[in-house]
Amino acid sequence: MSLFEDFLELIFPEYCLMCNGSLLKNEKQICLYCRYHLPLTNYHNDPNNALMQRFAGKVNVKYAWAFLKFTKGGKVQNVLHHLKYNGKKDVGILLGKWYGSELRKREYHTEFDSIIPVPLHASKLKKRGYNQCDPIVTGLSLQLGVAAYPVALKRNIHTSSQTKLSRMERYENTKDIFEVADYESVRDKRILLVDDIVTTGSTLESCILTLQKAKCKEVSIACLAAAQ
């Protein structure tokens, strides 16, 4: 690092996107303390994990995973806010790579043909400038060596927050809101569907049904975080 870069770091220090503490030299985006104290779910080690049970009897998925535990006001919410609203796309790539490394240790990289993000509606994409799931997909793709298809799905209808809706209302709110835009990335493929956070799961269910109608071979889910 040059003297000028040292000076800039002194005047404009970078902060950890999880704990807001100052980053040390060679730390990028997330400090080592937060890195080694991530609230991991380890769902990929448990075939009958809590997220898999959440989708049981609703849609057919091969695997359902989340990397991190999400709690309101916690560090994971903090980093997701930076990823989603503050343009910190690099942290999405970083976390995607970390997650991909864990999945590769269990040789899950051989299980998928396509990695596809849950899409944003065009109006929200224009306002935000990017889909926060795309960097996560990029990180996973780089680590797993599986092709990413960021525009495989298209979102036709913008839906509002679903946290206060009943199960039936959530279903009606997300029914038929997606369509396949790239059939070659879907048909007869083993798909890993990626979202930033799963709460009710209704949006993911709608994506899965759309992919299955397009004759994919199977669908699995990998989310960066899951609400507890």
What average pLDDT does range 39-45 have in this prediction?
A: 98
> Confidence class of residue 58 from pLDDT cuts 50, 70 and 90?
very high
Helix axes 167-174, 202-213, angle to 10 degrees: 50
HEC secondary structure over 149-163: CCCCEEECCCCCCCC
- Return the pLDDT at 7: 44
CA angle 127, 131, 132 (to 5 degrees): 115
> How far, in Å, CA of 114 to CA of 191, rounded?
5
pLDDT of the residue at 157: 75
**Burial class, 107, CB count within 10 angstroms (exposed 0-12 / middle 13-18 / buried 19+):** exposed
31-35, 168-172, 221-225: range with lowest mean pLDDT: 168-172
- pLDDT greater than 60 at residue 9: no
Indicate whether 8 pLDDT > 50.
no
**pLDDT tens digits, 174-205:** 567 899 999 999 999 999 999 999 998 999 99
Question: Looking at the predicted structure, is the pLDDT value of residue 16 above 50?
Answer: yes
pLDDT in tens, 71-107: 999 999 999 999 999 999 999 999 999 999 999 999 9
Mean pLDDT (the chain, rounded): 90
Helix 75-85 / helix 89-105 crossing angle, nearest 10 deg: 120
Give the pLDDT confidence score for residue 159 in this predicted structure. Answer: 59
Residue 176 has a pLDDT of 74
Distances, alpha carbon 137 to alpha carbons 72, 119, 169, in Å: 24, 12, 29
pLDDT at 228 (0 to 100): 83
Rounded-to-integer distance, Cα 19 and Cα 39, Å: 13
Mean pLDDT of 142-171: 76
The 3-state secondary structure of the chain, one letter per residue? CCHHHHHHHHHCCCECCCCCCECCCCCCCCCHHHHHCCCECCHHHCCCCHHHHHHCCCCCCCCEEEEEEECCCCHHHHHHHHHHHCCCHHHHHHHHHHHHHHHHHCCHHHCCCEEEECCCEHHHHHHHCCCCHHHHHHHHHHHHCCEECCCCEEECCCCCCCCCCCHHHHHHHHCCCEEECCHHHCCCCEEEEEEEEECCCHHHHHHHHHHHHCCCCEEEEEEEEEEC
Q: What domains sit in the chain, N to C, each tagged with a CATH number? A: 1-37 (no CATH), 38-227 (3.40.50.2020)
